[in-house]
Amino acid sequence: MKRFRLRYADWSWREYAAIAACILRGRIAAGPDAGRLAQELNALYAPSAAHALDFGHSALRIALDAFRELEPGRKEVIVPGYICPSVVDTVRAAGLEPRAAEIGPDLNIDAAAVRSLLGPDTLAVVVPHMFGCPAAVGEFERMCRQAGVFMIDDAAQVVGERVEGRLLGSFGDAGIVSFAQSKAVVTGVRGSGGILLVNNPRLQDALARRCRGLAPARGRLGALADFLWNYQWRGVTGNSGYYLLRLGRLLGRARPVSGPMALISNLDAAIARVQLARLGHLCAEKKRVADAYRQALAALPSVSLPQHAPGRYLSRLMVALPPETDVAQFRKDLALAGVETRLGYANAVTPGRPDTPNVAAARRLIGLPYTGTLQNDAINKICSILTKCLLKQDLPASRNSTSHETHHTAHQR
């Protein structure tokens, strides 16, 4: 049976050649690629200044620490109610309090909800482009400026896409980008890279000073092996990584937890440079695949792509199923038929508080196999398996949930 697996990075032989060159020259932690990457990022994002770090959330932490120093009396950071756990954890680790704002049907933070939460305690608003789908950053930038609060343009999942003629990540006071798995630029896992963008020139010195004190990330060969074994080559290695990890724990060789904040390693910078050089092609292919899925799913009106618009870049392809679907069973049926899927984020920003309807709907979305190399016949096959699994649950063929309609608003193109 043909298996359609999730993919976490679109790598060509060039990424592997860059890895081999770093290893052969012994340039893993430090080396010339880190400096060259910084130059390339600064050229791409100018006039914003770019600092290449180990994680996207390191960039977030540095920005929050600087904001807090400037406004010590303000303790609240507004984040979307549906967000990657590391954002919430980082806000808390900075000694600040995350406040959840409602999201829209496209999974992005809602402007009216943020406006209602702004107050004298608000330090900053984090505005992510969820799974690459552009948020209304221009509107948030104007709102935050007017309210006198800092804004972070969280472009963790997207590089090179524009809104209002400006690159995502370059709005507000600071921007962040991540190079971890399933992002636009992928260099690996566990600290493989992130960018801090300084968009407000008045913060230039304060943020640059914080980055200058950091050393290059260590332990990157082990993290690369982890990425290759457990993500890139999983079609061959299967679940052996899980058993190896358990064996390692039994033998007292636990994987190191992440260390102090760091700069990007030379190894990861070398991979990032290749990915950036291929970015135009990678994004064009992702757009083609998303468009092809939309066409194939048109025959299945009870299913929708809440974040998709023709020609839009997305880092993951999330599908909304009819509301009465037993999602767990549906995913099992798909897996048995050879289609691997995943859910989005399960964490609550405020533990114990019930999900809003849009957050609850977001938790029921399933991510389909989505790589730039996927061809139309594979996409059609995946969609026909999807149809069979829907019929197995005896689900209606017509769409009856308006909360998942695709929204094509002007700011999102």
Residues near ligand PLP, by CB under 6 A: 55-57, 84, 86-87, 128, 154, 156-157, 178, 180, 194
Three-state secondary structure call for residue 172? strand
Q: How far is the CB of 160 from ligand PLP (least distance, A)?
A: 16
Residue 266, exposed/middle/buried by CB under 10 A (0-12, 13-18, 19+)? buried
Q: How far is the CB of 76 from ligand PLP (least distance, A)?
A: 18
Minimum CB separation of residue 385 from ligand PLP in Å reads 28
Task: Work out the angle at residue 55's Cα, subtended by the Cα atoms of residues 127 and 97, and round it to the nearest 5 degrees.
Answer: 50
Nearer to ligand PLP, 306 or 322 (CB): 306
Q: Which is nearer to ligand PLP, 256 or 301 (CB)?
A: 256
Instruction: Rank residues 79 and 382 by Cβ distance to ligand PLP and give the closer one.
Output: 79
* CA separation for the pair 45, 21 (Å, rounded): 27
Given the complex with ligand PLP, which of 49 and 176 has the nearer CB atom? 176
Which lies closer to ligand PLP via its Cβ, residue 83 or residue 339? 83
Six-digit token string for 309? 């618009």
**Among 272, 261, 315, residue whose Cα is nearest residue 290:** 315
Question: Are 194 and 176 in contact, with CB atoms under 8 Å apart?
Answer: yes
Sheet holding 318-319, edge to edge: 318-319, 366-367, 342-343
In sign, the C-alpha dihedral spanning 19, 40, 83, 369 is negative
CB of 376 to ligand PLP, least distance (A): 29
The C-alpha angle with vertex 63 and arms to 60 and 68, in degrees rounded to 5, equals 120
Q: Are 359 and 113 in contact (CB under 8 A)?
A: no
Angle 376-392/279-297 helices, nearest 10 degrees? Answer: 40
State in angstroms the smallest separation of the CB of 128 from ligand PLP. 4
Taking the complex as a whole, the smallest distance from the CB of residue 59 to ligand PLP amounts, in Å, to 8
SS3 for 344?
Answer: coil
Longest dimension (CA), the chain: 61
Q: How far is the CB of 27 from ligand PLP (least distance, A)?
A: 22
Residue 158 or 334 having the CB closest to ligand PLP = 158
Measured from the CB atom, the residue of 105 and 188 that comes closer to ligand PLP is: 188
Q: How far apart are CA 284 and CA 301, in angstroms?
A: 26
Residue nearest to ligand PLP (CB): 56
Minimal distance, residue 89 CB to ligand PLP, in Å: 10
Beta carbon nearer to ligand PLP, 270 or 297: 270
Distance in angstroms between the alpha carbons of the first and the last residue of the chain? 39
Nearer to ligand PLP, 80 or 322 (CB): 80
Smallest distance, ligand PLP to C-beta of residue 86, A: 5
CA-nearest of 109, 187, 122 to 154 is 109
Place of tokens 């482009």: 129
